[in-house]
Amino acid sequence: MSDKQPAPGRFARVRAAQLEYNNRRAAGYREQALKLFPWLCGRCAREFDRRNLSELTVHHVDHNHDNNPGDGSNWELLCLYCHDEEHSKFEHLVRYGDTSDGARKPATHNPFAGLRAKLEAQDPGRED
Ligand SMILES: [Zn+2]
Ligand SMILES: [Zn+2]
């Protein structure tokens, strides 16, 4: 360990940035998204106003709700129905292993791993 301290103020700045980030998140990405984008569904183009705005939801394009860049690049405004649809599609991709990013692919499990060793243990002299 070095005894050199970080430049004064560095920790405070990092801390402030962290707090700001937390505050921004607490303020809600939905509010931010509604400021950034026109109030319409990105799929069916249904338009919204203050009366039915609760039916307009923020979808995370990469499905990671922790990924909330301030420029809105990971958000998409979708109506409840299209949002539902979007998630069913994603569930399907995850379940049937068709995701292109591969990040969510389940670990491959080989049910036959160790089977040969087991057979050989049972019947050491056998050859086929
Ligand atoms: Zn829609
Ligand atoms: Zn979503």
Rounded to whole angstroms, the Cα distance separating 89 from 107 reads: 21
Ligand 1 center to 118 CA (angstroms): 55
80 alpha carbon – ligand 2 mean position (Å): 10
pLDDT tens digits for 64-108? Answer: 988 999 999 999 999 999 999 999 999 999 899 865 554 545 556
Ligand having the closest approach to the CA of 48: 1
The structure tokens listed for 41 are: 């569904």
Average pLDDT of the chain is: 81
The total number of residues written for the chain in this structure = 128
Q: Which helix or strand (DSSP H or E) is residue 57 part of?
A: strand 56-60
List the structure tokens of 4. 């050199």
Residues 86 and 78: beta-carbon distance below 8 Å: yes
Q: Which ligand has the nearest atom to the CA of 81?
A: 1
From the CA of 90, which ligand is nearest?
2
Sign for the CA dihedral angle at 87, 41, 59, 73 comes to: positive
Task: Report CA Rg, the chain.
Answer: 25
pLDDT of residue 26: 45
Cα of 63 vs centre of ligand 2, distance in Å, is 6
Report pTM.
0.56
